[in-house]
C-alpha cells in the first residue's frame, strides 16, 4: 500500500512540474515601443502643447478591447515615473497632444506602457534614449 501511495505522489508531482514547465517554456508575447516625439534633447517649455507620438509592436492577445496604452513622465532620468500624462487610450492609438507641465528638468523621460489584464500584464517601455528638457517657466 505504501508503494502505491508513493508512486501516486511521484506521478502527480511529475505531472504538475511538467505542466508548469510547459507554461513557462513558451515564448511570452513581446511588447516594445519607440518614442518619435518629443525627440532626444528637445527643449520644451511649460504650457507648450506637444504631440507625443510613438511606434509600438503589440503582442497578439485575445480580447484586445480590454487593452490600454498609458504614458508616464519621469523627471529624474527614468528612475521614477510619478506623472501620468496621457489620456485613456486603447492599444491602437499612437499619439496624443500634451500640455507640458511646469516641472523643470534636464532629464525628462517618458514610459509608454501597454497592458491587457488579465491576458497580458502591464509592460513598461521607458524611453531613456529619448531624454528631453523641460525649461523653467519664464514667468510671463
Please state the rounded mean pLDDT for residues 58-71.
80
What is the predicted pLDDT for the residue at 119? 77
pLDDT value at residue 18: 46
Number of other residues whose CB lies within 10 A of the CB of residue 96:
16
Whole-prediction pTM: 0.75
Q: Which of 47-51, 75-79, 134-138 shows the lowest per-residue confidence on average (mean pLDDT)?
A: 134-138
Where do runs of H (alpha helix) occur along the chain? 2-25
For 75-106, how does the pLDDT look when each residue is reduced to its tens digit (9 = 90+)?
999 999 999 999 999 888 999 999 999 999 99
Superfamily of domain 29-134 in CATH is Immunoglobulins (2.60.40.10)
Domain ranges (residues) in the chain: 29-134
* CA distances to 63, 103, 118 from 99, in Å: 32, 12, 32
**In a 3-state reduction of DSSP, which class is residue 85?**
coil
Residue 1 binned pLDDT confidence (cut-offs 50, 70, 90): low
Whether the predicted pLDDT of 12 surpasses 70: no
The arithmetic mean of pLDDT across residues 25-52, rounded, is 88
Instruction: Assign 48 to helix, strand or coil.
Output: coil
Tell me phi and psi for residue 67, to 5 degrees: -85, 155
Amino acid at each position: 500500500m505504501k508503494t502505491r501511495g508513493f508512486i501516486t505522489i511521484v506521478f502527480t508531482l511529475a505531472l504538475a512540474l511538467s505542466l508548469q514547465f510547459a507554461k513557462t517554456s513558451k515564448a511570452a508575447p513581446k511588447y516594445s515601443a519607440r518614442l518619435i516625439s518629443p525627440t532626444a534633447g528637445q527643449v520644451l517649455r511649460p504650457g507648450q502643447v506637444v504631440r507625443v507620438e510613438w511606434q509600438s509592436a503589440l503582442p497578439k492577445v485575445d480580447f484586445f478591447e480590454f487593452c490600454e496604452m498609458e504614458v508616464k513622465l519621469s523627471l529624474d532620468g527614468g528612475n521614477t515615473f510619478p506623472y501620468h500624462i496621457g489620456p485613456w487610450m486603447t492599444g491602437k492609438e499612437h499619439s496624443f497632444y500634451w500640455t507640458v507641465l511646469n516641472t523643470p528638468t534636464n532629464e525628462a523621460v517618458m514610459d509608454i506602457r501597454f497592458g491587457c489584464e488579465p491576458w497580458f500584464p502591464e509592460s513598461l517601455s521607458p524611453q531613456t534614449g529619448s531624454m528631453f528638457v523641460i525649461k523653467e517657466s519664464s514667468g510671463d
